């Protein structure tokens, strides 16, 4: 995909499902997220899967952007090459920058992330891969959520709890020394968003995290036996 107005540059990330390519689109600095064919899948099935996942992710980004949340703006969807062309966001992954913030700033950032995820959940979106690698902090300290490749639609309390549980596990495994302040701030922000809408659902979702963890411990105990 290259002509006078569309220029693909270097691959900046190569994932299991898609690659991110830096470039330009009609003068705008962009990221091309391209899903390449998988040789181990039957070609028509592979094409259908790639197109479906590309459309799902792009449509989710467009909807979430309309809620006023910070996600990359989608400029174009190319179903022929299973590519999303989206605005390039200058920033660092939270995973790489968290250590430079003091505790007050960490609290503010994770509290905001909690409110962000709550708005997603209240509108029936499950991100599916909330990690500090999928959160960018811009030079102006704006927070962007990226990579909706595992996005699903659901109003299930269980699915929303799983979304939070996975993020909790990421914080424990990757940011153990900051876990207590960061997860506390995240949950407080999450619950505050539900409370603004006079909804108790947030409490049930958070409470269900313990249930998910208990089931996990039970499974591990059975496996050891």
Phi, then psi, of 30 in degrees rounded to 5 = -135, 170
Provide the pLDDT for residue 70.
Answer: 98
- Compute the average pLDDT of residues 172-194: 97
pLDDT digits (tens, 9 = 90+) for 84-121: 999 999 999 999 999 999 999 999 999 999 999 999 99
Statement: residue 1 has pLDDT above 70: no
When the pLDDT of each residue in the chain is averaged and rounded to a whole number, the result is 93
Q: How far apart are CA 182 and CA 126, in angstroms?
A: 21
Tell me the Ramachandran region of residue 141: left when phi exceeds 0, alpha when psi lies from -120 to 50, beta otherwise. left
- pTM (two decimals): 0.90
Please state, in angstroms and rounded to a whole number, the distance separating the CA atoms of residues 199 and 197: 5
pLDDT at 128 > cutoff 80: yes
d(CA 147, CA 164): 16
Mean pLDDT, rounded, for 39-49? 94
pLDDT of 218 > 50? The answer is: no
Asked if the model's pLDDT at residue 40 lies above 80, the reply is yes
Categorize the per-residue pLDDT at 4 as very low, low, confident or very high, splitting at 50, 70 and 90. Answer: low
Contact 17, 149 (CB under 8 A): yes
Q: What is the pLDDT of residue 21?
A: 97
Domains of the chain plus CATH, in order, are 6-87 (3.30.200.20), 92-224 (1.10.510.10)
Tokens of 60: 């989710």
Give the active site residue among 46, 78, 129, 178. 129
Does residue 78 have an active-site annotation? no
């Amino acid at each position: 995909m290259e002509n006078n107005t569309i220029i693909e540059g270097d691959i900046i990330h190569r994932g299991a499902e898609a690659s991110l390519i830096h470039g330009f689109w009609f003068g705008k600095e962009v990221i091309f997220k391209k899903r390449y064919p998988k040789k181990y899948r039957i070609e028509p099935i592979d094409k259908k899967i790639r197109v479906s996942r590309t459309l799902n992710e792009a449509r989710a980004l467009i909807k979430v952007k309309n809620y006023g949340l910070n996600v990359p703006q989608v400029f174009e969807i190319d179903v022929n090459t299973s590519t999303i062309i989206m605005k390039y966001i200058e920033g660092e992954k939270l995973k790489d920058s968290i250590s430079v913030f003091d505790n007050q700033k960490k609290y503010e950032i994770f509290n905001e992330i909690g409110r962000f995820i709550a708005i997603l959940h209240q509108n029936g979106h499950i991100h599916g891969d909330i990690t500090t690698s999928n959160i960018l902090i811009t030079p102006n300290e704006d927070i962007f959520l990226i990579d909706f490749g595992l996005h699903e639609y659901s109003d299930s309390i269980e699915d929303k709890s799983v979304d939070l549980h996975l993020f909790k596990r990421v914080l424990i495994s990757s940011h153990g020394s900051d876990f207590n302040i960061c997860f506390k701030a995240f949950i407080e922000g999450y619950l505050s968003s539900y409370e603004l809408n006079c909804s108790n659902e947030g409490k049930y979702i958070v409470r269900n995290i313990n249930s998910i963890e208990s089931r996990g411990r039970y499974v591990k105990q059975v496996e050891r036996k």
